[in-house]
Chains A and B, each alone.
Chain A
Amino acid sequence: MNRREAISSVTLLLGGTLLGAEAFLAGCKSPAADLSLSFSADDISFLNEVAETILPATSSPGAKEAKVGDFMAVIVKDCYEGKDQTIFKEGMIKLQEACKKSAGKSFMEATPEQRHDLLVALDKEQKEYQDKKKPEDPTHYFRMMKELTLWGYFTSEIGATKALRYVAVPGKYEGCIPYKKGDKAWAT
Chain B
Amino acid sequence: MAEQTFDAIVVGSGISGGWAAKELTEKGLKVLMLERGRNIEHIKDYVNANKEAWDFPHRGRKTQEMIKDYPVLNRDYPLNETNLDYWVNEKESPYTEVKRYDWFRGYHVGGRSLMWGRQSYRWSDFDFEANAKDGIAVDWPVRYKDIAPWYDYVEKFAGISGNRDGLTQLPDGQFLPPMEMTCVEKDASKRLKEYYKGARQMIIGRTANLTVAHEGRTNCQYRNKCWLGCQFGAYFSTQSSTLPAAQKTGNLTLRPWSIVTKILYDKDKKRATGVEVLDAENNQTYVYNAKIIFLNASTFNSSWILMNSATDIWPEGLGSSSGELGHNIMDHHLGVGAGGKVDGYEDKYYYGRRANGIYIPRFRNLFGDKRDYLRGFGYQGGAGREGYRHEVAELSIGGAYKDALTEPGSWTMGIMGFGEIIPDHANKITLDKNKKDKWGLPVLSFDAELKENELKMRKDMQEDAKEMLDAMGVKNINGYDANGIQGRGIHEMGTARMGADPKTSVVNKNNQVWDAPNVFVTDGSFMTSAACVNPSLTYMAFTARAADFAVSELKKQNL
List residues of chain A with CB under 8 Å of any chain B CB: 1-8, 10-15, 17, 19, 25, 27-28, 31, 33, 35, 53-60, 62, 71, 74-75, 78-81, 116, 119-120, 123-124, 127, 150-152, 154-157, 160, 163-164, 166, 168-186, 188
Contacts and interface: CB of A to CB of B under 8 A. Distances in A.
Interface string B175-202: 0000111110110000000000000000
Contact of B339 (A14, A54, A55, A119): A14
Interface stretch (B266-274, B307-315, B376-384): B376-384
Given A8-B414, A173-B351, A175-B354, A79 B480 contact: no
A160 B408 contact: no
A79 B179 contact: no
B389 A17 contact: yes
B350 A174 contact: yes
Contact of A14 (B349, B416, B478): B478
B406 interface: yes
A150 B52 CA distance: 17
B412 A188 contact: no
B181 A175 contact: yes
Interface in B39-64: 50, 52-54, 57-64
Given A79-B61, A123-B397, A185-B388, A175 B182 contact: yes
B64 A25 contact: no
Contacts of A33: 64
A171 B322 CA distance: 53
B339 A176 contact: no
A30 to B, nearest CB: 10
A152 B499 CA distance: 55
Interface in B471-502: 476-478, 480
Contact of B402 (A10, A25, A155, A163): A163
Contact of B62 (A7, A17, A79, A152): A79
Contact-residue size bin, chain B (C-beta under 8 Å from the other chain): 35 or more
A170 B386 CA distance: 19
B216 interface: no
15 contacts: A1-B77, A8-B382, A11-B414, A25-B61, A54-B397, A54-B401, A55-B401, A55-B405, A78-B57, A120-B396, A170-B351, A173-B220, A173-B353, A176-B181, A185-B409
B223 A170 contact: yes
Given A11-B412, A160-B53, A179 B386 contact: no
A13 B480 contact: yes
A55 B349 contact: no
A186 B245 CA distance: 37
A172 B351 contact: yes
A181 B57 contact: no
Given A28-B74, A177-B350, 5 more contacts: A152-B59, A170-B351, A180-B347, A185-B408, A188-B353
Given A55-B402, A74-B57, A184-B406, A31 B64 contact: yes
Contacts of A166: 52
B399 A178 contact: no
B221 interface: yes
Given A176-B181, A178-B347, A56 B389 contact: no
Contacts of B478: 13-14
B464 to A, nearest CB: 16
Closest 7 CB pairs of A and B: A175-B180, A11-B339, A173-B352, A179-B349, A170-B352, A155-B53, A176-B183
A154 B348 contact: no
A119 B397 contact: yes
Contacts of A155: 53-54, 59
A40 B391 CA distance: 32
B253 interface: no
A53 B159 CA distance: 50
The residue in B74, B354, B388 that gathers the most chain A C-beta atoms within 10 A of its C-beta is B388
B80 interface: yes
B331 to A, nearest CB: 14
